[in-house]
Amino acid sequence: MTVKNTNSAAHVAHPTPQPGAHFDDRRMETIMGRLLQAGVLLASAVVLIGGGLYLKAHAGTPVNYRTFSVEAANLRYPTRLLASLKTGDPAAIVQLGILLLIATPVARVVFAVIGFAIERDRLYVAVSLIVLAVLTFSLLH
Amino acid sequence: MHLLLFTSLVFAGSLAAGLLGALTGLGGGVVLVPLLTLCFHVDIRYAIGASLVSVIATSSGAAAAYVREGFSSVRIGMFLEIATTIGAVFGAFLASRVPIHALAIVFGVVLLYSAWLSWQQTRHPATPQSTANPWSDRLRMSGSYPDGSGGRCAYTVDRVPAGFATMFGAGTLSGLLGIGSGAVKVLAMDRVMRIPFKVSTTTSNFMIGVTAAASAGIYLQRGYIDPGLAFPVMLGVLGGSLLGARYLVRARVSLLRNIFTLVILALGVEMIVNGWMGRS
């Protein structure tokens, strides 16, 4: 209860109520939860479509995952993935879904940067930016 | 084996792994890699890649439900994600340098450790009340959670550097083995930093997705994520975990947990033996 009081007191202090006047950590987490759920739903739908087409195209072919061989480069790099998508390659559609899935938690961190900025919490804007920098490094390395 | 049959079997196995992982709270990833390598004879690198994808899916898929409970702390999570993401990048780099037999052995050891933790958790002692730590307020990580009777229960965090270091280790394991390593994350928050158990478990779920995303980019470029294998695994584990979360309250969790613990124990031994004999 005391937490709520201090929050509303802080908001009263603003001369003009901002769009994010009632924005607090709880609200941020609720939006994050929805964001993550939407991202997973979208990614799953794309993977499901791609997977269905993949099965249809290769249903009778024998599988071998026993030995590791680095797959076609155009599936491994987002820029080249686009070219394969244009030809309607089912594996590329699955890979696009997986990219969307990986982007979902990244979007959450981007949203955290915005959320903490609205809260005017510089320390946590910096913290979120560091996490975002590590994620960007790993994705673009 | 033909693709259609293989995909169906992998999907069914992943569904079961996701279901059991959600019901017992241990996560599906930890049994998925042994399942793929030992039963389906998949190369451990493909198995790790597919597992990591499913980890991101389950973590994000469960997020909305966890938020509703009001226990998770976005600040504690974000701060510790610095450690887990850096650890995950480090782990993903290690994964390509460690020989795959060693990878299987490390995985086996983690399985044995998970089994031990799971066995312990049934006798979980109350988290000792943390003493006032100046860093808790300085880093704005002190918070409160609903106590179940309308009020809120305040908490602080303790031993931040030790918790941060443990989180780095959790991230490394996640990047190295393609698992969520939720057990180590909860350990770091609950035992090391003395954060209340419910806050630890829900916050850990958020962190798992971001941690896994940090190594997924590297896995993708290395070709560890094969679309043909990843799609039944991802959809299976996600479906299983959502189903498991729905029936969580009705299931006899203690019996299930005991069975699951034994399964993990057996898989751990088998992974170590196979890795040692060079058969993985």
Q: Which ipTM did the prediction report?
A: 0.90
The pTM for the full model equals 0.88
> What is the model's pLDDT at position A46?
97
For residue A15, what pLDDT band results from cuts at 50, 70 and 90? very low
For residue B248, what pLDDT band results from cuts at 50, 70 and 90? low
> What is the model's pLDDT at position A70?
66
Nearest to A134 among B72, B74, B85 (CB): B85
Are the Cβ atoms of B235 and A51 closer than 8 angstroms? yes
Of B89, B140, B4, nearest to A57 (Cα)? Answer: B4
State phi, psi for B267 to the nearest 5 degrees: -65, -40
For residue B191, what pLDDT band results from cuts at 50, 70 and 90? confident
Are the Cβ atoms of A63 and B73 closer than 8 angstroms? no
Chain A residues whose beta carbon lies within 8 Å of the beta carbon of residue B210: 105-106, 108-109, 131, 135
Span of A67-81, B45-59, B106-120, B150-164 with lowest mean pLDDT: A67-81
Q: Which residue has the tokens 């006032």?
A: B132
Q: What is the mean pLDDT of residues B161-177?
A: 95
> What is the model's pLDDT at position A10?
39
Are the Cβ atoms of B74 and A29 closer than 8 angstroms? yes
Nearest to B57 among A101, A112, A123 (CB): A101
Who wins on pLDDT, B26 or B222?
A: B222
Of A102, A92, A115, A112, nearest to A39 (Cα)? Answer: A102
Q: Is the pLDDT of residue B269 over 90?
A: yes
User: CB of B39 within 8 A of CB of B267?
Assistant: no
> What is the model's pLDDT at position B29?
76
A66 CA: distance to closest CA in chain B (Å): 5
> What is the model's pLDDT at position A2?
40
> What is the model's pLDDT at position A13?
39
B191 CA: distance to closest CA in chain A (Å): 24
Nearest to A76 among B6, B7, B223 (CB): B223
> What is the model's pLDDT at position B2?
85
For residue B125, what pLDDT band results from cuts at 50, 70 and 90? low
Q: 3-state DSSP call for residue B43?
A: coil
**Residue A31 CB-half CA count within 13 A:** 15
Mutate which of B1, B43, B74 to disrupt the A interface (most A C-beta within 10 Å)? B74
Chain A residues whose beta carbon lies within 8 Å of the beta carbon of residue B81: 109, 131
Give chain B's mean pLDDT.
87
Q: Is the pLDDT of residue B262 over 50?
A: yes
> What is the model's pLDDT at position B244?
82
Cβ-Cβ contacts under 8 Å for A91 (sequence gap 6 or more): A50, A54, A75, A84, B227, B228
User: CB of B88 within 8 A of CB of B210?
Assistant: no
Who wins on pLDDT, B252 or B238?
A: B238
The rounded distance, in Å, linking the Cα atoms of B11 and B236 is 5
Chain A residues whose beta carbon lies within 8 Å of the beta carbon of residue B7: 51, 55
Q: What is the pLDDT of residues B197-223, one digit of tens each?
A: 888 888 998 899 999 999 998 999 888
Q: What is the mean pLDDT of residues A60-87?
A: 75
The rounded distance, in Å, linking the Cα atoms of A109 and A87 is 33
For residue A71, what pLDDT band results from cuts at 50, 70 and 90? low
Q: Is the pLDDT of residue A3 over 50?
A: no
